Amino acid sequence: MSKPQRLFVEAPLSQGARVPLPNDQAHYLLNVMRRGDGDPVVLFNGCDGEWRGAIRKTGKRTVAVDLAEKMRDQSAPCDIDYCFAPIKRARLDFIAQKATELGAARLQPIVTRFTVSERVKTERLVANAVEAAEQCGILWVPEVAEPMAFDRYLADRDPARTLIFCDEAAPVSDPIEALTAAPEGAFAVLIGPEGGFAEEERELLLRGENVVPLSLGPRVMRADTAGIAALTLLQAVKGDWR
């Protein structure tokens, strides 16, 4: 028997509770994963910790989980917003998964000047974030925000949240040094589209309060790679990898 399926649910979780599963999760457990009555399963909902329970078939196609034991207390995500220009669909799926694995609390699509504006399917970003959280033992699913225009984002941002953006021409070329000098607390990582930021966007960013330009070495990277690299360095220097 492989290890128990791990599922994100919306319902509250508590000792002895019977948690009915939505149809899609019931179908997944019974028909895709071939699990049945009594098989173990793990649930989390982003606020009540992680619980072990057993599958209870409540009808021909309906399933609940009888919760038996709390395995882990709830932990909070790092206070990191991951802001990114929407890109092609497969890479967008990937970004939602990777930002979740790397511990982001919030995914915020940002439409910049050079963004090739495909419509962002928010529910698809959520589905990818849920999948990554389920598979990677994470106790929350990042909040997914509706797309926002670059100018609006900059105008509305809280300057107490340090904004990190990737900038080839950053004055401090060592990214660890640049992050070490930043204040502790809340962060946003902003990744531009494949074509980069427009010059006027870059100037707006550099004029912003509490903005850290980050240099990521001498090679050009794709936007998704730069995003993972920036989140990695942030977690290692300021986050919970220390």
**Torsion angle of the four alpha carbons 81, 84, 86, 90, in this order, in degrees rounded to the nearest 10:** -80
Q: Edge-to-edge strands of the sheet including 18-20?
A: 5-8, 40-44, 50-57, 63-72, 18-20
Residue 71 Cβ, how far from its own copies at the closest point, in Å? 14
The smaller minimum CB distance to its own copies, of residues 186 and 237, is found at 237
User: Is 112 in contact with 193 (CB distance < 8 Å)?
Assistant: yes
Separation between Cα atoms, residue 151 and residue 13, nearest integer Å: 41
Nearer to its own copies, 139 or 154 (CB): 139
Q: Output the smallest distance, CB 188 to its own copies, in A.
A: 19
What is the closest distance, in whole angstroms, from the C-beta atom of residue 223 to its own copies in the complex?
11
Contacts to its own copies by CB under 8 A: 94, 97-98, 101-103, 135-138, 173-176, 215-222, 225, 228-229, 232-233, 235-237, 239-242
Nearest to 163 by CA among 118, 205, 224, 126: 205
The backbone torsions φ and ψ at residue 101, rounded to the nearest 5 degrees and listed phi first, read: -55, -35
Residue closer to its own copies, measured from CB, 30 or 128: 128
* Buried/exposed 177-205: b ≥16 CB within 10 Å, e otherwise: ebbeebeeeebbbbbbbeebbeeebbebb
Q: Which two tokens stand for residue 156?
A: 């509305």
Contact 129, 95 (CB under 8 A): no
Q: Which is nearer to its own copies, 175 or 193 (CB)?
A: 175
- Report, in Å, the least distance between residue 39 CB and its own copies: 21
Q: Which residue, 21 or 182, has its beta carbon nearer to its own copies?
A: 182
- Shortest Å, Cβ 237 to its own copies: 7
Shorter beta-carbon distance to its own copies: residue 104 or 154: 104
Smallest distance, its own copies to C-beta of residue 136, A: 5
Ranges of beta strands (E only) in 31-125 are 40-44, 50-57, 63-72, 80-84, 106-111
